[in-house]
Amino acid sequence: MTVTLSATLAANEDIERRRRAGERVLHLAFGEAGLPVHPALRERLAAASEHNGYGPVAGASGLRVAAAGYWTRRGLITDPELVVCGPGSKSLLYGLLLAIGGDIVLPMPSWVSYAAQADLVGARPILVPAPPGEGGVPDPDLVAAQVRLARAQGRVVSSVLVTLPDNPTGRLATPATVGRLVEVARELDLMIISDEIYRDLLHDPDLPYTSPADLAPERTIVTTGLSKSLALGGWRIGVARLPDDGHELRARLLAVASEIWSAPAAPVQEAAAYAFGDPRELTERITRSRRLHGLLARAVHDRFVEIGADVPTPQGGFYLYPDLSHLRLGGSAEITRLLLENHGIGVLPGHAFGDDPAAARMRVAVSLLYGDTAQERLTALTSPDPLELPWIAANLHHLSMGLKELSLVRHGATAGPDPALVAAH
């Protein structure tokens, strides 16, 4: 088996190398929340720093109770005994693949690590496109056909994974699509893994949201964490809500966890228990974050639309998924290379997410546009009009000029660097 560095992490390291070498690169390739840690969380972590024991494999009781309350307040009544904590939801997803076994159905495109983790555990992912205009949930009719075909070939297909809202497209599947997928999962006896780490970052909190666990609690696992909503990616903490009567699955998952991560970091669990309690100061921070992510995602969306890109309007998180195939400059690898090397814009190619390499689609993450320092990022978070802040305006201008220069290449023109941009940097 050949194991390579995650595409997101590899792109992040490449862009940072270029920046250290003095290149001006707009970093749109890394899905980090790009915001400072709330002081209340830093205080909780510091206060718990003396806790250096391993603790229970499933996670501290206080964190499991807090996570159960988090889901219960969102309409999913949860037994703390069916909550398992881990060092990030990414680790929990890997452990779940091992605990469930068999092959897995994934949306196409989907987050780079889903298929990679399936490969690592010896599973064969089945990539199924989402319905047109949606993302994160594979088309239920195609799922049924693909699972039946795979089983006819002797394969064991055990699960299907969804992301609500989605990375990489920034779209949210409709309740009708989720409902149809649940029907297919029941008919074919598939477990559903629902990655809901962006749930609290829907740009419009009134947008209809349906979790598969709302409809099929007996076969749905929900995972989430704090890396996106509260920008705690480096703290590595996640939680999983297992299905009703999921005690056998719990035992298998804990067996896996005991051999891989033993237990989540004790001080981080203390801070996470506070966060999952939804205290007012943190829910207000999330509200501000959701607003900032939405404003920047729409601003970047508009700049791609200006050059004729086909790009669905983002609905959650800090991603969008433009298609520049109309420029006829090559597939996802070539268009990504041109943007980085000729125009100083770093994005991730669509083929890294399982998409057709011949299509010029890419994932764009806007969350590192907010500023280069903690003070700039905090100012962006609290500003009544963050798009007018000088550093954000400069970033958006850099993007606009790079995209316009790229589109001119299609028409046989050449464009030198923008004088205003050169003067600013």
Q: What is the pLDDT of residue 2?
A: 60
176-196 pLDDT per residue, tens: 999 999 999 999 999 999 999
Alpha-carbon gap, residue 278 to 63, rounded angstroms: 12
258-275 pLDDT per residue, tens: 999 999 999 999 999 999
Under 8 Å between Cβ of 222 and 191: no
275-294 pLDDT per residue, tens: 999 999 999 999 999 999 99
Residue the block writes with tokens 């890109």 = 309
pLDDT value at 1 more than 80? no
The pLDDT-based confidence of 419 (bands split at 50, 70, 90) is very low
Mean pLDDT of the chain: 94
Section 350-361 average pLDDT: 96
The pLDDT-based confidence of 417 (bands split at 50, 70, 90) is very low
Section 402-424 average pLDDT: 63
Name all domains of the chain by residue range, CATH numbers in brackets: 7-30+281-409 (3.90.1150.10), 50-277 (3.40.640.10)
Alpha-carbon gap, residue 258 to 94, rounded angstroms: 13
Alpha-carbon gap, residue 201 to 33, rounded angstroms: 11
Under 8 Å between Cβ of 119 and 1: yes
What does DSSP assign to residue 351?
G
56's CB contacts (< 8 A; 6+ apart) are 263
Alpha-carbon gap, residue 290 to 283, rounded angstroms: 10
The pLDDT-based confidence of 99 (bands split at 50, 70, 90) is very high
User: Where is pLDDT greater, at 255 or 2?
Assistant: 255
Alpha-carbon gap, residue 234 to 331, rounded angstroms: 33
Q: What is the pLDDT of residue 246?
A: 96
120-146 pLDDT per residue, tens: 999 999 999 999 999 999 999 999 999
Residue the block writes with tokens 């005991």 = 258
Looking only at the bridges linking them, the beta strands covering 220-225 and 103-108 are unpaired
Helix (H) and strand (E) counts in the chain: 15, 12
292-332 pLDDT per residue, tens: 999 999 999 999 999 999 999 999 999 999 999 999 999 99
Whole-number CA gyration radius for the chain:
21
For the entire predicted model, the pTM comes to: 0.93
34-87 pLDDT per residue, tens: 999 999 999 999 999 999 999 999 999 999 999 999 999 999 999 999 999 999
